[in-house]
Each structure stands twice: as C-alpha cells, then as structure tokens.
Amino acid sequence: MKLPNIIITGTPGSGKTSHAEEFVSRHPEFKHINVSEYAKLNGCIEGYDKDRDSSIVDEDKLLDLLEPLANKGGIVIDWHCCEIFPERWIDLVVVIRCDNSILYDRLVNRGYSENKISENIECEIMCVLLFEAQENYNKQIVVELHSEDLNMLDNNIDRLDQWLNNWLDNNN
C-alpha cells in the first residue's frame, strides 16, 4: 500500500466527521468513508433499532464492499465503532474524545432524545470506544485525541499530518 488506512472513531457528537473531513481536505489522495452514509448508499442497512433511533448496519455486507478499498489503502473510516474492521486493514485508530458537557450540548443540538443522549454520554464517561479500540488493535496504533473546539481540531489534524509523514517515511 502506498497510503495507510485510518479509522477515526468516537462517541456520536465527539467530532469524528469533522476530523475526517479536515484530514482529507489536507490530503485529497485519501478517501473519506462516513460509514453511516456509505451503508445507506450501498444497501448495507438491514433494519432499524427504534430504541436507539438508529439504522442497523449489515456488517458482513459492509466489510465485503470495503475490502477492495482497504486493500488499496488510503481510506479514512469514520464511524462510532471500530472493532468490526479487520486489524490487517488498519494502520492507525484515532479515538476522538470530548468533554461531557460539550458533548451533551452537541447532542441536544442534533435533536437526540434524552435516552440517546444519556446512552452516548455514559459511553463517553466509561471510555467504551477507547477500550474497544485498545482491545481489538495493537495498542501502538491507537491514539486518543480530545476535541472540544476548533483549535483542538487543528492541533489534532497537525498531529495526524506528522503521523502520516512518519508512516510514509517508514513505508515507501
């Protein structure tokens, strides 16, 4: 692969998509895959969870569609979970974290129900996505970044730029 594959994961509202979009805007050779949108556009939805107010993704179908892209390299996967993606595909897992009071306001602004907000805040408090990343990938490739404002976003993307430069130096 000439380019690495990156997962950007985190609780809904933490800033995953903003990070992925900003990174890809600086590096247009990468392809941003917002899994929620990609699954809908490519027929990978197998149902709807009323309790969570969210679509249920057919993970097997999703992985089958993404495999050729992952094998080529240069994808930035943006989703609220990461453990379904084979470790052999991934070079870096970025877990975006956010202060709970800021996250709460972001979720309210999205119109989430109180139950959905509570579930996501609890997930953030318990570091669920960070632990999932650390359990499913080599801890050396898992990075935790905080995202509460635009300055932090810019600093995080600068760090990802440095990581990419190091990866390119070591792999090409």
Q: Summarize the annotated binding site for ATP as residue ranges.
A: 13, 15-18, 110
Tell me the residue type at 23: F
CA 16 from centre of chain = 5
How many CB atoms are located within 10 Å of the residue 93 CB? Answer: 28
Beta-carbon contacts of 159 under 8 Å, excluding residues fewer than 6 positions away, are: 143, 145
Known binding-site residues equal 13, 15-18, 110
Measure the N-to-C terminal CA separation of the chain; round to a whole number of Å. Answer: 9
Whether residue 96 contacts residue 10, with contact meaning beta carbons closer than 8 Å, is answered with yes
Cβ-in-10-Å burial (0-12, 13-18, 19+) of 139 comes to: exposed
